[in-house]
Structure formats: C-alpha cells, structure tokens
C-alpha cells in the first residue's frame, strides 16, 4: 500500500536533522541520536507444514536506552526491511519521550507473509525468533509488543518461550498479552482510542466542533477500527474507510461496528451495503474535516499531498507522511498531528501493563483509561504550547520535545568510558 519509494530511515533522519537544527543541538549529540545502539539480524530456519525448510530473516533494533529499557513492537510483513525497523525504533524513542514514560525505542520484525502461513507455522516462527533474540530482551532490557500482523497470541508465545528459558513465569517480558496471562485492560484498543483522544484535543485547540465532523480512516485494522469506533461514539461522522483491498465512501456516514462485522464475514470492507467503492489513493483525497492514515508508512508523499483535501491529518500509522509531503501540506494550510503523539496511546498502555506485571497487579478498564486520557491530554497540551512558543508546526514541536528530552538524558549520563 506504500505509495512512495523513499527510504524510511532517510526520512526520519531528515526529520531529526530539521529538529536538531531548530534546537541548536550539539553536533555530537545529533550524531549519537542518528545511530542505533544495537542492531540484531537473525536467520530463522523453519520446517513448514508440508515438510519444506524455509529460512526467514528477523530483526530487532534497539535505538536508545538513555531514558529506560527499550520498548517497541514486532511486525510480521513481507515488506519488512532493516531500514524500516531502524526508522521505527528511532520513532519509538521520540514517542516514549513525548508522552514522558521511562522507555527508550526499539522495533522488531520478521520478513514473512502471515496470510500464507498456518497457525502452527506462525507459532514455530515466533518461538524460533524469541529464542534467537532472548539474550537481548527482558523486563529491564527490552520489552516487545504487538505490531502489524502480530497480536496477543504472538505475545503469549514469546512470553512462554522466554519464561521456559528462564525457568519461571516472566509476564513482564512483553506487553499486549491476553488478559489471562497478565495483559492490561484496554490494551487492544489503546492506540486507536489514543488517536481519537488526540483528534478530540486537536478539535478543541482549533475550535472545530466534533459533532457531525467528517472523518476518513485509511486502514481499517486494529488502530483504524478503534479510532473510528471511538470517534463515532463522540459524535463524528465516519464517511470513508479502507483496507488493503480498497475503500468505501458514504457522505451520510458509515457505522464502524457494522463495517467491521462485514469485514469479518467477507474479508474486506469492500461490498459494504450502501457505500461507494474507492481506491486507497482516492480515500486519502476525500474532502473531510479529519483524515486518519492508519495503514502503512509513506502513504502521503510529494506526488499526492497536493490532492489532500482534509482540514486536519491525525497520523494513526507510523510514518505515513514524508518530509516532502509535510512541506506541501503546510503550504496548503493542512494542520497535522504527528504520529509520535497521535498514536502513542498503545505504548502508554503497554507501560501500564508492564507496571502492573512487575507489581503483580491488575487494574480496571476505568483506571487504565483514566491514566491514558490524563497522559495524552497533557502530552498534547505540552506539544501545542511548544508549537506556540517556537512558532513551528506540531511535528517539529513534538520532535523537539522528544529529542530534547532524550538529548538531556544522554548529556546527564555522560559517555562511558
């Protein structure tokens, strides 16, 4: 679904360079921040159900741990690359700093197509990957979580494999687990819910009414589903939704719950009664109040940014907008809430799960959502205030906040030896 061929690591390094220039940062600190502390590539031989042996490639990139243990998801996708994982690990560092939780950034991935794999093959691949990186992860070292095409079951397999190797149960080694294994209430919907909360705060700051505000969501996966459902409950009108096969549009509004039921039954949002079918590219160019790109990276780029008619973009996905597109959108007056703020709800509730596991506690959904709400509202206000103070856009303000917090931690720690 990606519409741009720009290297994702080059893109995020370009954003970092813009940020550090604005901050007048020491070149040495900038140099540290452009490099990942540890990079792991593992070969994963696997006997498939038909007896054939295949070798998969897995990655785990640990960008920076100056503010705490590494934290980041694991994605299973045939387009996973080292540069993508490096970029996502760096973004996680800024994200954790922006929302002010004591983590550094990491990311992992395996190059595979889960749609062509059985449950057993996915389990064996997950356990092989966990074994390969087991010495580099741990509750106080690196805490993985779900990402694209991984879920609570994947995390259960990782937890079990790691626990067997340690000789005792270690639920705090991963987050996003099933509730029965120490998972947190509200974790599954946290990223989408957080995106909706950030959109709500944006509407308030721009004096835009939420009631009947038109919303388009590109990517009706976990993030897009929960963002759409939460916004619908807030009174927004969801007029466009899409998945990997295409999009649907109805100016009168779509019911996200009914669309989800249709997708579960048919495998796609396409064919939903009473809707017009569009391509993913057309979905991005619909006229609306709020556009939420919640699919893959680089969906909005220099070739299509000029066609975006949304008043506001709230980035539910990681890196959906390139630096070139940022410039075009800014010139066209499109307000943008960046990914490291807008989709930070997932890592926030992951942090809450980790804390619960360490203390062997379990909090109610109400308690979790209250803490999520409080953190996101504070983070949004802080980024908005920095934007106003520095006279920059929201991405530059969020990056400035995240990068400066990490840089300060590095300077206070010093360099060893």
For the segment 307-320, the average pLDDT, to the nearest whole number, is: 95
Phi, psi for residue 148 in degrees, rounded to 5: -60, 125
Range list for CATH 3.40.50.720 in the chain: 190-342
For the segment 156-162, the average pLDDT, to the nearest whole number, is: 98
CB 303 within 8 A of CB 3: yes
pLDDT at 5: 65
Q: d(Cα 245, Cα 75) in Å, to the nearest integer?
A: 20
pLDDT digits (tens, 9 = 90+) for 103-130: 999 999 999 999 999 999 999 999 999 9
Looking at the DSSP assignment, which residues form a beta bridge with residue 142?
A: 70, 138
Q: Which residues, other chains included, contact 191 with Cβ-Cβ below 8 Å and sequence gap of 6+?
A: 222, 223, 226, 316, 343, 345, 346
Q: Which fold has domain 36-172?
A: Rossmann fold (3.40.50)
pLDDT at 320: 93
Range list for CATH 3.40.50.10860 in the chain: 36-172
With the C-alpha atoms ordered 366, 367, 371, 372, is the resulting torsion angle positive or negative?
negative
pLDDT band at 1 (very low <50, low <70, confident <90, very high): very low
Question: Among residues 149, 177, 152, which one has the least CA distance to residue 76?
Answer: 149
The first and second tokens of residue 374, run together, are 């409080």
Answer yes or no: is pLDDT of 383 > 50. Answer: yes
Distances from the Cα of 415 to the Cαs of 37, 93, 409, 411, 412, in angstroms? 13, 19, 11, 8, 9
Q: d(Cα 41, Cα 46) in Å, to the nearest integer?
A: 16
Q: Rounded to an integer, what is the distance from CA 410 to the centroid of its chain?
A: 25
Q: d(Cα 384, Cα 299) in Å, to the nearest integer?
A: 25
pLDDT band at 2 (very low <50, low <70, confident <90, very high): very low
CB 99 within 8 A of CB 348: yes
Distances from the Cα of 410 to the Cαs of 9, 55, 365, in angstroms? 22, 38, 35
Q: d(Cα 347, Cα 365) in Å, to the nearest integer?
A: 16
**Share above pLDDT 70 across residues of the chain, in percent, rounded to a whole number:** 99
Question: Mean pLDDT for the chain?
Answer: 95
pLDDT at 365: 97
CATH of domain 190-342: 3.40.50.720
Q: d(Cα 394, Cα 400) in Å, to the nearest integer?
A: 10
pLDDT at 115: 92
Q: d(Cα 142, Cα 173) in Å, to the nearest integer?
A: 8
The first and second tokens of residue 10, run together, are 């080059």
Q: Is 107 a catalytic residue?
A: yes
Query: How does 233-253 read in b/e, with b if 16+ C-beta sit within 10 Å?
Result: ebebbbbbbbbebbbbbbeee
pLDDT digits (tens, 9 = 90+) for 68-97: 999 999 999 999 999 999 999 999 999 999
Determine which one of 107, 177, 263, 375 is catalytic: 107
């Amino acid at each position: 679904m990606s519409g741009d061929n720009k290297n994702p690591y080059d893109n995020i390094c370009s954003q970092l360079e813009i940020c550090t220039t604005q901050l007048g940062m020491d070149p040495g600190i900038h140099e540290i921040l452009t490099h990942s502390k540890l990079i792991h590539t593992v070969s994963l031989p696997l006997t498939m159900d038909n007896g054939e042996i295949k070798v998969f490639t897995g990655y785990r990139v640990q960008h920076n741990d100056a503010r705490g243990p590494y934290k980041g998801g694991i994605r299973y996708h045939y387009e996973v690359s080292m540069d993508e994982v490096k970029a996502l690990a760096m973004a996680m560092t800024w994200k954790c700093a922006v929302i002010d939780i004591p983590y550094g950034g990491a990311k992992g991935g395996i190059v595979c197509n889960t749609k062509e794999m059985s449950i057993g093959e996915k389990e064996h691949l997950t356990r092989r990957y966990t074994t390969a990186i087991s010495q580099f992860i741990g509750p106080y070292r690196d805490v993985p979580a779900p990402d694209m095409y991984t879920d609570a079951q994947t995390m259960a397999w990782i937890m079990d494999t790691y626990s067997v190797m340690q000789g005792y149960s270690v639920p705090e080694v991963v987050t996003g687990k099933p509730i029965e294994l120490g998972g947190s209430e509200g974790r599954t919907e946290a990223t989408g819910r957080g995106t909706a909360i950030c959109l709500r705060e944006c509407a308030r700051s721009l004096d835009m009414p939420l009631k009947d505000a038109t919303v388009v969501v590109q990517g009706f996966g976990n993030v897009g589903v929960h963002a759409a459902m939460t916004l619908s409950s807030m009174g927004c009108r969801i007029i466009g939704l899409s998945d990997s096969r295409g999009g649907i549009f109805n100016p009168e509004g779509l019911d996200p719950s009914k669309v989800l039921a249709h997708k579960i039954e048919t495998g796609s949002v396409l064919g939903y009664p009473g809707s017009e079918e569009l391509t993913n590219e057309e979905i991005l160019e619909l006229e609306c109040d709020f556009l939420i790109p919640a699919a893959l990276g680089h969906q909005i780029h220099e070739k299509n940014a000029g066609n975006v008619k949304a008043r506001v973009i709230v980035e539910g996905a990681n890196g959906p907008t390139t630096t070139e597109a940022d410039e075009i959108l800014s010139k066209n007056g499109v307000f943008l809430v960046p990914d490291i703020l807008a989709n930070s709800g997932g890592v926030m509730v992951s942090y809450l799960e980790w804390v619960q596991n360490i203390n062997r506690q379990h909090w109610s959904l109400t308690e979790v959502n209250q803490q999520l709400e409080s953190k996101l509202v504070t983070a949004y206000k802080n980024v908005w205030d920095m934007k106003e103070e520095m006279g920059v856009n929201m991405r530059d303000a969020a990056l400035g906040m995240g990068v400066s917090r990490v840089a300060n931690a590095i300077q206070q720690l010093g360099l060893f030896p």
